[in-house]
Amino acid sequence: MLKRELKWTAGQIWEFLEVEFPQVLAAGYQVERLEPRRAAVRLSVGTDHLRPGGSVSGPALMGLVDFTCYVVLLAHHGASAGLAVTTGLQISFLRKAGLEDVICEAELLKHGRTLSVLDCRISTADGRLIAHAEATYFMAGANELR
């Protein structure tokens, strides 16, 4: 069973990303909340996130889901989760969001020996649900901390 306490804070995750994955920091993400089994990450939507017609693009929302899940895994495992890889991501787009911030809330549903599964909801800052996703990760390198 996964320990209830977090191994890393949001600040420690950010320090890791600055060294190991600096290109993701330019995407406009901000960790809003971090707690056992859960995280919320805000995407500050800019015009580069919009598709023709003015809605947030699917790739921008999928990237937000993937990043939020990675934050949850890093929070629980530290650097050993740095090698975790996405093996599946299913997303349902429910409503459009325009040029406004969106927030992804991810919850760890299952943390197995080799795979972790997370459930995600993406909402506008005012609480309108715009997408739902489920993501699965192969936990390369994280098993020694179980």
CATH of the domain at 48: 3.10.129.10
* Domain presence at residue 63: yes
- Bridge partners of 40, per DSSP, are 33, 105
Question: Where in the sequence is the domain holding 72, given as residue range(s)?
Answer: 10-145
Question: How many domains in the chain?
Answer: 1
Low-confidence ranges of the chain (pLDDT < 50): 1, 144-146
CA distance to 36, 87, 134, 136, per residue, from 32 (Å):
14, 25, 20, 22
Dist CA 49 CA 73 (whole Å): 25
Q: 1 burial class (0-12, 13-18, 19+ CB within 10 angstroms)?
A: exposed
Residues 141/81, Cβ–Cβ less than 8 Å? yes
Q: Edge-to-edge strand order for the sheet containing 29-35?
A: 29-35, 38-43, 102-111, 115-124, 129-138, 85-93
Q: How many CB atoms lie within 10 A of CB 114?
A: 11
Which residue is it, tokens 């947030």?
56
Report pLDDT for 80. Answer: 86
* Domain presence at residue 83: yes
* Domain presence at residue 3: no
Structure confidence by residue, pLDDT tens digits, 12-30: 999 999 999 999 888 899 9
* Domain presence at residue 99: yes
Which residue is it, tokens 């949850």?
72
Report pLDDT for 146. Answer: 44
- Helix, strand, coil content of the chain in percent (nearest 5): 35, 35, 30
